[in-house]
Chains A and B, each alone.
Chain A
């Protein structure tokens, strides 16, 4: 499977990462060679495995739905990149800005 720079650009856009032209070129090369390596799994007969399996002991683990007191919330809230009082301030999700997609 050969990925070109345009493919990498699309994937990077889905993953919300801005890439330089140099990175696109490098990743296209490197990811193509990794995909070339991993394609060998296609040759394994997996017809005996019916669906996407759970790999750990697959039993539900439940706990009571109880309120918990969180101590030192400031340790988390003080790390908000932008604050408005005690609130986390973000750029408008819907606004006048033109979306890229």
Chain B
């Protein structure tokens, strides 16, 4: 069966023409997961029985002509997104046995579109990290080199797509958690505009920045998944009405588009091979008819600091709910904790249930919000954040998109940055500005350096995913980087 590396578009066509059934396709992925996942650890749980049941239903719907746009397509879901009746851990010991009592809005939408849920993918605990090493359960390996990280925090989803253990996947992006792993694993990763996709049923890390989006093999597939999950949701008051991206409009090319190259993303001392790959991509876009201009975003240098303070502040409040009272791990039930008072329940539950990175962020956030420091840290960060958003607004009056590297490095070795949080945070330096600015951005493959993928980031103004995807599609189709696959045995 020639089913390797199927895109959503190709799988849909095979299902439509009955060359393949959804059950066969699902069995194909289950077999690949069985073969490769013991090495990669992309998945935390695979639900074969449920997936095959969904696939049988999809085949019936394809037969009777009631198939939705993703009918019969097997996908993977980051384990931060609630799926009713399934264990949803957030990569945390505190939720090791937690069963989600309801479906996230994106799960409902994907169910309605007919998608098959293969299983839940690994992540940094509560999406806090850039390497997936902060998972309480497993360290995911990069399919291109198993001694290296897949990026994070959606590292499981990126590795699963890159290793062809699913057709596509959902991740979440608070500061680069879709785009950076997409870059490290050689896949496409889209962070939609804040407010495009409902966060209902997504475990909150930083509510003002978190956004769900697709990791796929092609730009067209990213558009298909975005169309299925985007739109207003009464359960998430920050969502907006969105216009679906027309797949045909992606093919219009970049002629007449104006693309900006922000000089702050190309700094002295950056990895020369990454710079060369990104510069070559810019030349390619020029060749394709785009007008390329240099632009400047001087406040970029503050984005990571603003991000750190915003994230930790919101984490310190959002994660207060993990207190051992209503669900999840509780020291009350742990004989070795021997708690006597309510205070001890809180303190020991959180001490034992949460990992180091989570604790570190909660404590830093508690500090940034504390009396006496609140104005200097949290409030100042929010003011600078407003200025960064304004700076983006200004530049988008001049250009349609911005083109930058996704990450300052290729995938690093497992353990290389694990003990130095600040060094780890710096791997998000090119991705956080898009979150801080509330705008949309995508990473797509644009080269190989030392045999490992390099990511190109394209950024566009709020709710202009159509322009973003159009530029990304034009570049992708003019090059062959998206066809490169990791050398798995």
Interface of A toward B, CB cutoff 8 Å: 3, 7-8, 11-12, 14-19, 23, 27, 30-31, 33-35, 37-42, 44, 46, 48-49, 52-53, 55-57, 61, 63, 72, 75-76, 79-82, 88, 90-93, 97-100
Q: Is the interface of B mostly helix, strand, loop or mixed?
A: helix
Chain B residue nearest to A48 (CB atoms) is: B387
Of B363, B377, B425, the most chain A CB neighbours within 10 A belong to: B363
Chain A residue nearest to B350 (CB atoms) is: A17
User: Are A15 and B363 in contact (CB-based, < 8 A)?
Assistant: yes
B7 on interface, CB distance cutoff 8 Å: no
Contact among A17, A44, A49, A97 for B351, CB-based, below 8 A: A17
User: Across the interface, which residues of A come within 8 angstroms of B343, CB to CB?
Assistant: 16, 99-100
User: Are A81 and B330 in contact (CB-based, < 8 A)?
Assistant: yes
* Known contacts A34-B425, A41-B380, A53-B386, then 20 further A-B pairs from the complex at CB < 8 Å, ordered by chain A residue: A15-B363, A15-B366, A16-B323, A23-B356, A27-B359, A33-B422, A35-B364, A38-B377, A40-B301, A42-B380, A44-B302, A44-B380, A48-B387, A56-B208, A56-B238, A75-B85, A76-B327, A79-B101, A79-B326, A90-B342
User: Across the interface, which residues of B come within 8 angstroms of A38, CB to CB?
Assistant: 305, 308-309, 377, 381
User: Are A81 and B383 in contact (CB-based, < 8 A)?
Assistant: no
B316-371 at interface with A (beta carbon < 8 Å): 316, 320, 323-328, 330, 332-333, 339-343, 345-348, 350-351, 354, 356, 359-360, 362-364, 366-367, 370
Contact among A11, A23, A56, A81 for B370, CB-based, below 8 A: A11
A39–B174 Cα distance when bound, in Å, is: 21
A53–B385 Cα distance when bound, in Å, is: 9
A99–B347 Cα distance when bound, in Å, is: 13
A11–B99 Cα distance when bound, in Å, is: 31
A15–B381 Cα distance when bound, in Å, is: 21
Chain B min CB distance to A49 (Å):
4
Chain A residue nearest to B100 (CB atoms) is: A75
Contact among A17, A27, A55, A76 for B389, CB-based, below 8 A: A55
Chain B min CB distance to A85 (Å):
16
User: Across the interface, which residues of B come within 8 angstroms of A81, CB to CB?
Assistant: 324-328, 330, 332-333
User: Are B208 and A40 in contact (CB-based, < 8 A)?
Assistant: no
Contact A82 to B346, CB < 8 A, known contacts A37-B422, A53-B382 = no
User: Are B342 and A92 in contact (CB-based, < 8 A)?
Assistant: yes
A98–B333 Cα distance when bound, in Å, is: 21
Of A7, A16, A91, the most chain B CB neighbours within 10 A belong to: A16
User: Are B345 and A91 in contact (CB-based, < 8 A)?
Assistant: yes
User: Are A17 and B363 in contact (CB-based, < 8 A)?
Assistant: yes
Contact among B380, B389, B421 for A46, CB-based, below 8 A: B380
B453 on interface, CB distance cutoff 8 Å: no
A69–B324 Cα distance when bound, in Å, is: 26
Contact A27 to B363, CB < 8 A, known contacts A55-B438, A81-B325, A100-B343 = yes
Contact A17 to B347, CB < 8 A, known contacts A11-B363, A53-B382, A63-B234 = yes
A91–B338 Cα distance when bound, in Å, is: 13
How many of chain B's residues have a CB under 8 angstroms from any CB in A? 69
Chain A min CB distance to B62 (Å):
29
B412 on interface, CB distance cutoff 8 Å: no
A46–B421 Cα distance when bound, in Å, is: 28
Chain A residue nearest to B308 (CB atoms) is: A38
Contact among B299, B305, B341, B422 for A91, CB-based, below 8 A: B341
A21–B467 Cα distance when bound, in Å, is: 53
Chain B min CB distance to A92 (Å):
7
A76–B366 Cα distance when bound, in Å, is: 29
B240 on interface, CB distance cutoff 8 Å: yes
Contact A16 to B383, CB < 8 A, known contacts A23-B359, A34-B421 = no
Q: List 14 A-B contacts (CB under 8 A).
A: A11-B363, A15-B350, A16-B347, A17-B350, A19-B351, A19-B359, A23-B356, A34-B364, A35-B364, A38-B309, A42-B380, A44-B387, A48-B387, A91-B345
Of B101, B238, B301, B327, the most chain A CB neighbours within 10 A belong to: B101
Contact A12 to B363, CB < 8 A, known contacts A33-B422, A40-B302, A63-B234 = yes
Chain A min CB distance to B323 (Å):
7
Of A8, A18, A35, A72, the most chain B CB neighbours within 10 A belong to: A18
Contact A30 to B327, CB < 8 A, known contacts A15-B363, A55-B438 = no
User: Are A72 and B330 in contact (CB-based, < 8 A)?
Assistant: no
Indicate with 1 or 0, residue by residue over B84-100, a CB within 8 angstroms of chain A CB atoms. 11000000000000110
A52–B63 Cα distance when bound, in Å, is: 55
Contact among A34, A42, A57, A76 for B308, CB-based, below 8 A: A34
Chain B min CB distance to A56 (Å):
5
